[in-house]
Amino acid sequence: MGGKRIAVVTGANKGIGFGIMKELCAKFDGIVYLTARDEGRGLAAVEELKKLGLTARFHQLDIDNADSISKFTEYIKNTYGGLDVLVNNAAIAYKRESTVPLGEQAEHTIRVNFFDTLALCRSLFPLLRPHARVSTVTSSSGHLLRINGNEPHASALKEKLASPSLTEEELCDLMNQYVEKAKEGTWKEAGWPYKPYEVSKVGVSALTRIQQRAFDADPREDLVVNCAHPGDVATDMTSNRGPLTIEEGAVVPSYLALLPPNIKEPKGAYLWYDMRVIDWVKGPIP
């Protein structure tokens, strides 16, 4: 059970997730799990890594499926007894030209990118061993200043999200409130930005700060979580728009996953793709 260090990357069969796999397989001292919704694609990605001389293991994991999360958690618990690195990379985004109604986009995007990420964390965090590292992929869209509507409610909303005493429950309520407003068509008056993807990533960035506060109070030593904007990377998700390669986009999330023991910082921070720690509340956004 003990002995082996374990790292897990979600949504890892392509894109930035696959780039992170390459980094971790090369640099992490332990076993790296490539997880993906689709078993065929996941196993094919493990084979791709093998061709590069890198060893990974595969386990099916769909963060949008509670049963899949609990099976995976049980597997890690029963096989290894604990977990040392978790990279929250799995996410969805609707294309700009999507004709799906905003309310539906909002519901689906917030569910997967925010609530499913949170559900996975709640399931796996009890397995984190001392000195564990959690790295969450956010976005430039996930900075608090994205909530910059001129509506009076935007500043109240920002204040709530920026509060150092914001709880997980309060954050969940805010995310649900956005989905309701998107369905009603009153998101703007409520101070929210239009894009569900932005709101979902603001949510995971805010969640990072809450999780680090909990880690600071945790009896397990030196638990650290950070989130990072990987840069504008050419992937399926971005319709291959973006100047950065997948390898470049993997740099900061991988760096955060591999932070050495007992560091003072970054902790609960928001990092830019060039490794800079950015003030999530005040900015400026580079």
Domain hosting 223: range is: 6-100+116-146+198-278
pLDDT at 5 over 70: yes
The number of folded domains in the chain is 1
Is 197 in the active site?
A: yes
Instruction: For residue range 179-234, list pLDDT tens digits in order.
Output: 999 999 999 989 999 899 999 999 999 999 999 999 999 999 999 999 999 988 75
Instruction: For residue range 89-112, list pLDDT tens digits in order.
Output: 999 999 888 999 999 999 999 999
Q: What is the model's pLDDT at position 231? A: 86
Give the span between the Cα atoms of 73 and 49, in whole angstroms. Answer: 24
Q: Of these residues, 33, 178, 197, 270, which one is catalytic?
A: 197
Residues 6+ apart with CB under 8 A from 192: 147, 149, 154, 157, 178, 181, 182, 199
Q: Is residue 46 part of a domain?
A: yes
Q: Is residue 22 part of a domain?
A: yes
Closest CA to 220 of 170, 261, 278, 275: 261
Which residue(s) pair with 137 in the sheet?
A: 228
The per-residue b/e assignment along 56-90, b for 16 or more CB within 10 angstroms, e otherwise, is: bebbbbbbbeeebbeebbeebbeebebbbbbbbbb
Q: Which amino acid is at 189?
A: E
What's the CATH number where 274 sits?
A: 3.40.50.720
Instruction: For residue range 72-91, list pLDDT tens digits in order.
Output: 999 999 999 999 999 999 99
Q: Which secondary-structure segment (H or E) carries 119?
A: helix 117-124
Q: Is residue 161 part of a domain?
A: no
pLDDT at 152 over 90: no
Give the span between the Cα atoms of 76 and 71, in whole angstroms. Answer: 9
Model confidence at 32, in pLDDT bands (50, 70, 90)?
very high
Model confidence at 238, in pLDDT bands (50, 70, 90)?
very low
pLDDT at 149 over 90: no
Closest CA to 270 of 207, 219, 222, 221: 207
